[in-house]
Amino acid sequence: MYKLTDDLAIVQTCDFFTPILDDPYEFGQVAAANSLSDVYAMGGKPLVAMNIVCYPCSLGMEPLREILRGGAEKVWESGALLVGGHSVDDKEPKYGLSVTGIVHPDRVVLNRGAQPGDVIVLTKPLGTGIVSTALMAGVADGQAQRRLYRIMSALNDKASQAMLEAGAHACTDITGFGFLGHLMEMAEASGVSFEVDAGQIPVIEGAFEYAQMGLIPGGLRRNRDFLAGKVEAEDVEQSVLEVMFDPQTSGGLLIAVAPDRVDDLVGRLQSAGSGRREGSGECGGDRDHISTLTAAVVGRAVPAGGKGPCVRVMR
């Protein structure tokens, strides 16, 4: 973030990655939504975006057109303008955006600032990495892919607006470090610990079962190893923990809010989409409408103990 005036700052972010879905258009949509997410996590509004493209010309131009069409439509959905970009010939496709957003300096939300007693709220279900692995292994079906696409391509704009109106103390979006990795980052930056209720975590349909089958991405293992000694778990099933270590693509916002404002936040999230406060259950099912915005109250901040900030997962 860079402060320009007393009432205006810019937020600059950049992100891109290799295809996570087979359909080029859907990949473009997800990559763009993921790139825009950091701006929303800080309470900002995307203003302009530029394409970042690596593409093997040997694949022909039609897949590239679809990737760029998907990304452009997602940028337009956000209200930002796509103003150009850069492309290079590469051995493997990669796509994302450099995004410039704006925010009022007094309203910016950082990944630090959580206070003891704060309630933590998650706005998208977990499990994108596990379900993607199941799709690549040919275990998950087309319905699982549609469900995954809907969740990963959904913007965090409504969740961002809700957290601003509720006066959130801290926020981060859940991406490659997984739920527990990003929560631990917030704990260390804020000087607090977090207690997580594993039973309240929203999870994409099928993710638990795929994890139990051993269909977990390499990033999950790296997240788990990196957080060794920082995450305490009591009587929590391994598959539940794996979902919380799972690296997410274009995940939701993880918001810390004062206990007397949590009902306000949850109410705003529920008004903005099909969220719910209590219970986790599983998202999706056979319905035509797939929930992409949750209002899951998943834990609370507590004072850090003598060993310093940590995350305790309880069932």
**203-228 pLDDT, tens per residue?**
999 999 999 999 999 999 999 999 99
- Looking at the fold, whether 44 and 133 belong to one and the same domain comes out as no
Q: Are the CB atoms for 157 and 40 separated by under 8 Å?
A: yes
- Looking at the fold, whether 30 and 73 belong to one and the same domain comes out as yes
Which helix (H) or strand (E) element contains residue 149?
helix 142-153
- Looking at the fold, whether 67 and 26 belong to one and the same domain comes out as yes
114 assigned to some structural domain? no
Closest CA to 130 of 249, 275, 283, 280: 249
- Looking at the fold, whether 98 and 134 belong to one and the same domain comes out as no
Among all chains, which residue has been given the structure tokens 């975590």?
201
- Looking at the fold, whether 288 and 238 belong to one and the same domain comes out as yes
- Looking at the fold, whether 159 and 126 belong to one and the same domain comes out as yes
Rounded Cα distance, 176 and 194, in Å: 20
108 assigned to some structural domain? no
**Domain boundary residue, one of 103, 133, 148:** 103
- Looking at the fold, whether 303 and 214 belong to one and the same domain comes out as yes
**Domain boundary residue, one of 103, 138, 173:** 103
**Domain boundary residue, one of 74, 103, 132:** 103
258 assigned to some structural domain? yes
Closest CA to 56 of 95, 21, 16: 95
- Looking at the fold, whether 290 and 175 belong to one and the same domain comes out as yes
**85-106 pLDDT, tens per residue?**
999 999 999 999 999 999 999 9
Rounded Cα distance, 121 and 109, in Å: 15
- pLDDT value, residue 185: 97
- Looking at the fold, whether 170 and 79 belong to one and the same domain comes out as no
Rounded Cα distance, 262 and 13, in Å: 29
Q: Are the CB atoms for 97 and 75 separated by under 8 Å?
A: yes
Query: Domain tally for the chain?
Result: 2
Report CA-CA distances (Å) from 167 to 43, 105, 147, 148, 232. Answer: 10, 14, 31, 30, 29
299 assigned to some structural domain? yes
Sheet containing 311-314, strands listed edge to edge, beginning at the edge strand earlier in sequence: 170-173, 253-257, 119-122, 296-303, 192-197, 311-314, 231-234
60 assigned to some structural domain? yes
Residue 25: give the domain boundaries: 2-103
- Looking at the fold, whether 159 and 78 belong to one and the same domain comes out as no
- Looking at the fold, whether 231 and 310 belong to one and the same domain comes out as yes
Q: Are the CB atoms for 210 and 130 separated by under 8 Å?
A: yes
111 assigned to some structural domain? no
Q: What are the phi and psi torsion angles at 134 (to 5°)?
A: -65, -35
Query: Tell me, what CATH number does 161's domain have?
Result: 3.90.650.10
Which helix (H) or strand (E) element contains residue 296?
strand 296-303
Residue 132 half-sphere exposure toward CB, CA atoms < 13 A: 24
- Burial state string for 185-220 with b = 16 or more CB within 10 A and e = fewer than 16: bbbbbbbbbbbbbbebbbbbbbbbebbeeebbbebb
What is the residue type of 232?
Answer: E
Other CB atoms closer than 10 Å to residue 58's CB: what's the count? 7
- Looking at the fold, whether 124 and 77 belong to one and the same domain comes out as no
Strand 94-103 relative to strand 170-173: parallel, antiparallel, unpaired? unpaired
Sorted by sequence, the CB contacts under 8 Å of residue 229 that are 6+ apart come out as none
Q: What is the pLDDT along the chain (315 residues), one digit of tens a residue?
A: 999 999 999 999 999 999 999 999 999 999 999 999 999 999 999 999 999 999 999 999 999 999 999 999 999 999 999 999 999 999 999 999 999 999 999 999 999 999 999 999 999 999 999 999 999 999 999 899 999 999 999 999 999 999 999 999 999 999 999 999 999 999 999 999 999 999 999 999 999 999 999 999 999 999 999 999 999 998 899 999 999 999 999 999 999 999 999 999 999 999 987 544 433 444 433 333 345 789 999 999 999 988 899 999 998
- 167 bridge partner residues: none
109 assigned to some structural domain? no
236 assigned to some structural domain? yes
- pLDDT value, residue 315: 86
Query: Tell me, what CATH number does 58's domain have?
Result: 3.30.1330.10
